[in-house]
Amino acid sequence: MIKAILFDFDGTVADTAPDLGHALNRQRIARGLSPLPITLIRRYASAGSRGLLHLGFNLKPDDVTYEAMREEFLRFYAERLCHDTCLFPGIANVIDQLDIRNLPWGIVTNKPARFTRPLVQTLGLHQRAACIISGDETAHTKPHPEPLLTACRQMDISPQNCIYLGDDLRDVQASMAAGIKPIVARYGYLGNDAPPESWGADHLINHPEDLLNYI
């Protein structure tokens, strides 16, 4: 029996790719490179700064210039955090319906809290979420199960009575490791090379409101 819903944030609840992409393209333009199209950036947005810096500059975390570029990217992103970011169509209604049904819901993301919490507040969700677990608030990030298990403890719900909706393979891996039912948001960024049908999720949905039929 489903007693709670957990959501990934980027690519699941909110379309953050335009503002993430703006930060990346600002870096590229400053170095004489042409901006990348948002259609390409969306595929890498769920991977955050690591994925976007690899896309934009072929940088990896062990490269000498990576940390400086990452700090610059995050600074640019913070300066324009919620300019074009918005909820995916249908998410607002899903959350309304969960509240009506008295089903608690929360957000579990790898995004650092200094970005997650202002965004959630600006989008009007902070007082409604039963929990918000950011990427730097537990010792491990997804695909480790700890963030999801922490959310379950905060909501006092058993993992087997939760579902987790996300748009990345790491979301499915974390769900399965935590004993939570994984659902894939096919409307999200889906940045992995393997098709989402191969990730091992219980269910895939094409629109946020399809979640209401599942539960």
Catalytic residues, by residue number, are: 8, 10
Q: Which two tokens stand for residue 15?
A: 């379309």
- 8-140-168-83 Cα dihedral, nearest 10 degrees: 50
DSSP symbols for 150-190:
HHHHHHT--GGGEEEEESSHHHHHHHHHHT-EEEEETTS--
Distance CA 97, CA 84 (A): 25
3-state per-residue secondary structure call for 127-140: CCCCEEECCCCCCC
Please name the residues in contact with 181: beta carbons below 8 A apart, sequence gap of 6 or more.
Answer: 2, 160, 162, 163, 164, 175, 202, 203
Question: Around Cβ 31, how many Cβ atoms within 10 Å?
Answer: 9
Please name the residues in contact with 21: beta carbons below 8 A apart, sequence gap of 6 or more.
Answer: 36, 38, 41, 42, 45, 52
